[in-house]
Amino acid sequence: MNAINLNTITSQAFVKIYEIDKSFINTNNYLGLAYFWAYEYRHYLRDSSIAQRKKVHNLFLKNNLIIDSVSEKHFEIIKLITKQN
């Protein structure tokens, strides 16, 4: 499998990939680019890695959480994956 280096693609290509990823929110196809979280978690996830975002998203799904909602369980998962206190 080949990887796409997002640092080398055009801005137009990035916008298209981002749009596709937005359509993948709430599915197992989510790539880790698009923002999916509630506003309250912006400081924790905005600067997180693509891999961390994907892990958080997948754990939300696995735990039957509403993706863009707020709860103690959401925050526990975010802290676990992003290694924040």
What is the number of structural domains in the chain? Answer: 1
Do the domain assignments include residue 64? yes
pTM: 0.90
pLDDT tens track for 5-37: 888 999 999 999 999 999 999 999 999 999 999
CA dihedral 69, 70, 73, 79 (to 10 degrees): 110
Q: Are 84 and 78 in contact (CB under 8 A)?
A: yes
Write out pLDDT tens, residues 52-76: 999 999 999 999 999 999 999 999 9
- Determine the structural domain holding residue 41 and report its residue range: 11-82
- Token pair in block for residue 24: 């993948």
Looking at residue 26, what is its pLDDT? 97
Residue 40 lies in a domain: yes
CA distance 45 to 77: 11
Task: Read off the DSSP letter of residue 27.
Answer: S
Q: Is residue 2 in some structural domain?
A: no
